[in-house]
Structure 1
Amino acid sequence: MKRIRWQEFLMILFGSFVLAAAFYHIHVQNNLAEGGFIGIALLVQALFHISPSITTLLLDIPLILLGSKILGRQLAFKTIIGATSFSVFYSLMERYSPFQINLSQHLFFAALLGGVLVGFGLGLILRYGGATGGDDILSILISKVSRLSVGKVYFIFDVLVLILSLVYLSWDQVAYTGFSVTVCAYITDWVMTYHRRKKTESAYI
């Protein structure tokens, strides 16, 4: 049991690293937005020049604390790991990363690559029992008090954030971001269910 807990911890950290790397090197460097709290953080950065590593934590912490009372301490603890490690990794890359991935003339490819990498990182975090931040908990809480599924809440929240992103991005950039979010959702589901499918397939061999 102890080994499994360490595995969960390490995989959540790895997922957060992939997530931070994809957002900074693909989305931010190529002027793509994002849904959820990270999308809000990118909007705040564009308007007020505050690093997303700070904004995401300020948005996440109150909802994580609220979620711990309603959804359980274990989910809250793993969410804190995911949110804090994402913030740390993003801050380090923002300050020290020498890599520049300029795909501004190929936004379709940037959106596709960003969606795949972000979906992979998110999928790992969710697959090992964590969450990416307070927006995940907010979606779960809204779903519990409404007739909407968690997926529908995610979608509505993302659409609202993307509309707000028009303040600093063009329609084309927001449209490509929408494509990236769609790819991300597919890859996230694939990563989360891959292990389950492999176990089912092995049972028939």
Structure 2
Amino acid sequence: MLTADDRYYSSLRRNIMAIIITVSMMPLLAMMAIAGYQFHTAYRHKVADHLGALVERHALHIDTFLMEKLADIRSLAAIKPLEKLQDPQELENILAIFQEKHQGDFVDLGLVNERGVQVAYAGPFRLTRAQYGDGSRFQEAMSQPFTISDVFLGLRGLPHFIVAVRVEKNGRPWVLRSTVVFVSFLDHQLR
């Protein structure tokens, strides 16, 4: 039978062992908690940095694609006389060349006068004499040397954007515009 002293010493031994184990485990638990927190923080920063770099790279690709399309239309406006651009057959020929050289990026070409009437058009729709005068995109194109619209659906039902360049001839502003389908940008990303 256990005496009171035995029970006391047995209880004291258990308490001392529990204190020793607890005190010796505290630094280990603290180190595990700190290391876990630092790993989680470092991993979260690494993922955020990776996503930031990815977004930045895609933004650069988009900007490059848009600037290439704008450069094509600006070059066309600079080298072709306005009289040639007013000829629908000439626009058809230019559009065919653009589509061949740019894998179909350009859907159409149009020349719009200062009143917003499209006087010449080349493309799959019948948009000659289309009225753009009241549209905000036309107003913006008339007030800027060039514009690139946001992506929108419009009549085509496909995501596309407009690249437009203002052309001055005899003090009168004109707008040379082209539709570029957004799908072509996605195709460029896969090439």
Q: Indicate whether the TM-score tops 0.5.
A: no
Between 1 and 2, higher relative CO (CA 8 Å, sep ≥ 6) is seen in 1
Which has the larger share of helix?
Answer: 1
Larger radius of gyration: 2
TM-score, with structure 1 as normaliser? 0.24
Structure 2 length as normaliser, TM-score? 0.25
Query: Comparing both structures, which one devotes a greater share of its residues to strand?
Result: 2
